[in-house]
A and B are shown apart, each in its own frame.
Chain A
Amino acid sequence: DVKVTQSSRYLVKRTGEKVFLECVQDMDHENMFWYRQDPGLGLRLIYFSYDVKMKEKGDIPEGYSVSREKKERFSLILESASTNQTSMYLCASSLSVEGAFFGQGTRLTVV
Protein backbone atom coordinates (compact mmCIF):
# COMPACT_ATOMS: atom_id res chain seq x y z
CA ASP A 1 0.00 0.00 0.00
CA VAL A 2 1.09 3.53 -0.73
CA LYS A 3 1.99 5.48 2.33
CA VAL A 4 2.11 9.26 2.44
CA THR A 5 3.24 10.56 5.81
CA GLN A 6 2.97 14.12 7.03
CA SER A 7 5.27 15.03 9.89
CA SER A 8 2.67 16.58 12.19
CA ARG A 9 -1.05 16.06 12.76
CA TYR A 10 -1.53 19.32 14.67
CA LEU A 11 0.60 22.43 14.74
CA VAL A 12 0.20 25.81 16.44
CA LYS A 13 2.44 28.66 15.30
CA ARG A 14 2.65 32.37 15.92
CA THR A 15 2.08 35.07 13.31
CA GLY A 16 5.29 35.86 11.49
CA GLU A 17 6.98 32.52 12.17
CA LYS A 18 8.52 30.48 9.37
CA VAL A 19 6.72 27.16 9.22
CA PHE A 20 7.83 23.91 7.58
CA LEU A 21 5.39 21.13 6.74
CA GLU A 22 7.05 17.90 5.72
CA CYS A 23 5.68 15.11 3.59
CA VAL A 24 7.26 11.77 2.69
CA GLN A 25 5.96 9.09 0.33
CA ASP A 26 7.30 5.56 0.02
CA MET A 27 6.14 4.51 -3.45
CA ASP A 28 8.63 6.25 -5.72
CA HIS A 29 5.92 8.51 -7.14
CA GLU A 30 6.97 11.23 -9.55
CA ASN A 31 4.25 13.70 -8.66
CA MET A 32 3.66 15.32 -5.31
CA PHE A 33 1.14 17.94 -4.28
CA TRP A 34 0.22 20.28 -1.45
CA TYR A 35 -3.43 21.21 -0.96
CA ARG A 36 -5.25 23.12 1.71
CA GLN A 37 -8.80 22.32 2.75
CA ASP A 38 -11.13 24.99 4.07
CA PRO A 39 -14.87 24.75 4.83
CA GLY A 40 -16.97 25.59 1.81
CA LEU A 41 -13.93 25.83 -0.45
CA GLY A 42 -12.95 22.20 -0.87
CA LEU A 43 -9.35 21.31 -1.61
CA ARG A 44 -7.27 23.97 -3.31
CA LEU A 45 -3.90 23.28 -4.87
CA ILE A 46 -1.00 25.31 -3.48
CA TYR A 47 2.01 23.82 -5.29
CA PHE A 48 2.93 20.63 -7.05
CA SER A 49 6.12 18.96 -8.20
CA TYR A 50 6.58 16.46 -11.02
CA ASP A 51 10.25 15.70 -10.40
CA VAL A 52 13.09 16.36 -8.02
CA LYS A 53 13.89 20.07 -7.84
CA MET A 54 10.93 20.83 -10.13
CA LYS A 55 7.94 22.79 -8.87
CA GLU A 56 4.89 24.44 -10.29
CA LYS A 57 2.48 26.92 -8.75
CA GLY A 58 -1.03 25.77 -8.12
CA ASP A 59 -4.09 27.93 -7.69
CA ILE A 60 -3.16 29.66 -4.42
CA PRO A 61 0.66 29.84 -4.11
CA GLU A 62 0.87 33.27 -2.48
CA GLY A 63 2.60 33.16 0.90
CA TYR A 64 3.98 29.67 0.33
CA SER A 65 7.05 28.06 -1.15
CA VAL A 66 8.10 24.44 -1.60
CA SER A 67 11.20 22.31 -1.71
CA ARG A 68 11.80 18.94 -3.34
CA GLU A 69 15.41 17.92 -2.87
CA LYS A 70 14.69 14.20 -2.87
CA LYS A 71 12.05 12.26 -4.78
CA GLU A 72 10.31 10.97 -1.68
CA ARG A 73 10.10 14.26 0.22
CA PHE A 74 8.09 17.39 -0.54
CA SER A 75 8.13 20.28 1.92
CA LEU A 76 5.73 23.20 2.16
CA ILE A 77 7.12 26.41 3.64
CA LEU A 78 5.12 29.29 5.03
CA GLU A 79 7.64 32.12 4.85
CA SER A 80 5.85 34.31 7.42
CA ALA A 81 2.77 32.65 8.84
CA SER A 82 -0.43 34.66 8.96
CA THR A 83 -3.78 33.93 10.55
CA ASN A 84 -5.43 33.41 7.15
CA GLN A 85 -3.13 30.43 6.66
CA THR A 86 -4.88 28.59 9.46
CA SER A 87 -6.15 25.51 7.64
CA MET A 88 -5.93 21.77 7.07
CA TYR A 89 -2.93 21.02 4.83
CA LEU A 90 -2.92 17.85 2.78
CA CYS A 91 0.01 16.32 0.95
CA ALA A 92 -0.52 13.86 -1.89
CA SER A 93 1.53 11.81 -4.31
CA SER A 94 0.65 10.11 -7.56
CA LEU A 95 2.17 8.04 -10.30
CA SER A 96 -0.58 7.86 -12.85
CA VAL A 97 -3.94 9.21 -13.79
CA GLU A 98 -5.63 6.80 -11.36
CA GLY A 99 -5.46 9.47 -8.75
CA ALA A 100 -3.49 10.79 -5.86
CA PHE A 101 -2.85 9.20 -2.49
CA PHE A 102 -3.17 11.56 0.44
CA GLY A 103 -1.48 11.87 3.79
CA GLN A 104 -3.49 12.20 6.98
CA GLY A 105 -3.31 15.98 6.97
CA THR A 106 -1.81 18.66 9.21
CA ARG A 107 -4.17 20.96 11.05
CA LEU A 108 -2.24 24.24 11.31
CA THR A 109 -3.41 27.04 13.58
CA VAL A 110 -1.69 30.42 13.35
CA VAL A 111 -2.28 32.64 16.38
Chain B
Amino acid sequence: DQQVKQNSPSLSVQEGRISILNCDYTNSMFDYFLWYKKYPAEGPTFLISISSIKDKNEDGRFTVFLNKSAKHLSLHIVPSQPGDSAVYFCAASVNTGFQKLVFGTGTRLLVSP
Protein backbone atom coordinates (compact mmCIF):
# COMPACT_ATOMS: atom_id res chain seq x y z
CA ASP B 1 0.00 0.00 0.00
CA GLN B 2 1.82 3.05 -1.30
CA GLN B 3 0.87 5.91 1.00
CA VAL B 4 2.95 8.46 -0.90
CA LYS B 5 2.83 8.37 -4.68
CA GLN B 6 4.84 10.07 -7.37
CA ASN B 7 3.12 9.04 -10.55
CA SER B 8 5.64 10.52 -12.96
CA PRO B 9 8.85 8.50 -13.02
CA SER B 10 10.61 11.12 -15.12
CA LEU B 11 10.36 14.72 -16.28
CA SER B 12 12.36 16.61 -18.90
CA VAL B 13 12.56 20.40 -18.87
CA GLN B 14 14.62 23.00 -20.68
CA GLU B 15 16.97 25.22 -18.76
CA GLY B 16 15.28 28.40 -17.58
CA ARG B 17 11.77 26.95 -17.65
CA ILE B 18 9.66 25.82 -14.71
CA SER B 19 9.85 22.27 -13.38
CA ILE B 20 6.78 20.97 -11.57
CA LEU B 21 7.04 17.73 -9.64
CA ASN B 22 3.91 16.23 -8.17
CA CYS B 23 3.15 14.02 -5.22
CA ASP B 24 -0.07 12.52 -3.85
CA TYR B 25 -0.68 10.93 -0.49
CA THR B 26 -3.43 8.84 1.01
CA ASN B 27 -2.89 9.03 4.76
CA SER B 28 -4.79 12.01 6.17
CA MET B 29 -2.72 11.77 9.37
CA PHE B 30 0.40 13.07 7.62
CA ASP B 31 1.16 16.54 8.92
CA TYR B 32 4.60 17.29 7.56
CA PHE B 33 5.90 16.98 4.01
CA LEU B 34 9.38 17.18 2.62
CA TRP B 35 11.23 17.03 -0.66
CA TYR B 36 14.61 15.38 -1.01
CA LYS B 37 17.00 15.50 -3.93
CA LYS B 38 19.29 12.62 -4.77
CA TYR B 39 22.25 12.44 -7.11
CA PRO B 40 23.55 9.03 -8.26
CA ALA B 41 25.78 7.26 -5.73
CA GLU B 42 24.95 9.80 -3.02
CA GLY B 43 22.47 9.89 -0.18
CA PRO B 44 19.35 12.07 -0.47
CA THR B 45 19.68 15.67 0.69
CA PHE B 46 16.90 17.70 2.22
CA LEU B 47 15.53 20.39 -0.09
CA ILE B 48 12.40 22.00 1.34
CA SER B 49 9.51 21.16 3.64
CA ILE B 50 6.02 22.28 4.53
CA SER B 51 3.81 21.84 7.54
CA SER B 52 0.16 20.94 7.10
CA ILE B 53 -0.85 24.28 8.62
CA LYS B 54 0.55 26.05 5.55
CA ASP B 55 -0.28 25.84 1.88
CA LYS B 56 2.94 27.28 0.48
CA ASN B 57 6.59 27.49 1.41
CA GLU B 58 9.26 29.18 -0.64
CA ASP B 59 13.05 28.98 -0.55
CA GLY B 60 14.86 30.70 -3.38
CA ARG B 61 14.07 28.94 -6.64
CA PHE B 62 12.09 26.21 -4.86
CA THR B 63 8.46 26.46 -3.81
CA VAL B 64 6.33 23.71 -2.34
CA PHE B 65 2.53 23.89 -2.53
CA LEU B 66 0.22 21.80 -0.37
CA ASN B 67 -3.45 21.12 -1.16
CA LYS B 68 -4.76 19.22 1.85
CA SER B 69 -8.24 18.67 0.49
CA ALA B 70 -6.80 16.99 -2.59
CA LYS B 71 -4.00 15.31 -0.61
CA HIS B 72 -1.57 16.67 -3.15
CA LEU B 73 1.67 18.56 -3.04
CA SER B 74 3.94 19.88 -5.71
CA LEU B 75 7.45 21.22 -5.99
CA HIS B 76 8.10 24.10 -8.37
CA ILE B 77 11.62 24.93 -9.50
CA VAL B 78 11.98 28.28 -11.24
CA PRO B 79 14.15 28.77 -13.20
CA SER B 80 15.36 25.23 -13.74
CA GLN B 81 19.11 24.69 -14.08
CA PRO B 82 21.10 21.72 -15.43
CA GLY B 83 22.48 21.15 -11.92
CA ASP B 84 18.92 20.44 -10.78
CA SER B 85 19.00 17.18 -12.74
CA ALA B 86 18.53 14.50 -10.09
CA VAL B 87 15.91 12.20 -8.60
CA TYR B 88 13.42 14.00 -6.38
CA PHE B 89 11.66 12.17 -3.58
CA CYS B 90 8.57 13.38 -1.84
CA ALA B 91 8.25 12.29 1.81
CA ALA B 92 5.63 12.62 4.50
CA SER B 93 5.49 12.08 8.23
CA VAL B 94 3.13 11.97 11.15
CA ASN B 95 4.60 14.02 13.96
CA THR B 96 4.67 11.24 16.52
CA GLY B 97 8.06 12.33 17.76
CA PHE B 98 9.94 9.70 15.79
CA GLN B 99 9.96 11.65 12.50
CA LYS B 100 9.48 8.43 10.57
CA LEU B 101 9.39 9.42 6.91
CA VAL B 102 7.36 7.66 4.25
CA PHE B 103 8.83 8.19 0.81
CA GLY B 104 7.41 8.22 -2.67
CA THR B 105 9.02 6.32 -5.52
CA GLY B 106 10.84 9.34 -6.92
CA THR B 107 10.80 11.43 -10.10
CA ARG B 108 13.90 11.74 -12.23
CA LEU B 109 14.27 15.34 -13.44
CA LEU B 110 16.44 16.09 -16.44
CA VAL B 111 17.13 19.74 -17.19
CA SER B 112 18.69 20.21 -20.59
CA PRO B 113 20.73 23.29 -21.61
Contacts and interface: CB of A to CB of B under 8 A. Distances in A.
Interface residues of A, number: 29
B103 A105 contact: no
A105 B49 CA distance: 22
Contact of B98 (A41, A56, A90): A56
Interface string B72-97: 00000000000000000101010101
A97 B32 CA distance: 8
Contact of B99 (A4, A56, A58, A94): A94
A52 interface: no
B89 A43 contact: yes
Contact of B101 (A40, A41, A96, A100): A100
A107 B9 CA distance: 22
Contacts of B6: 42
A75 interface: no
Given A40-B105, A42-B105, A97-B32, A50 B43 contact: no
A100 B91 CA distance: 11
A35 B4 CA distance: 16
A90 B42 CA distance: 9
Contacts of A64: none
A4 B89 contact: no
Contacts of A41: 105
Interface in A54-100: 56, 58, 90, 92, 94, 96-100
Given A4-B43, A102-B44, A105-B43, A33 B100 contact: yes
A24 B18 CA distance: 38
B45 interface: yes
Interface of A: 4, 9, 31, 33, 35, 40-45, 48, 50, 56, 58, 90, 92, 94, 96-105, 107
Would you list the 10 A-B pairs with minimal beta carbon distance, nearest first?
A102-B43, A42-B105, A43-B103, A99-B46, A42-B103, A94-B99, A99-B34, A102-B44, A104-B43, A105-B43
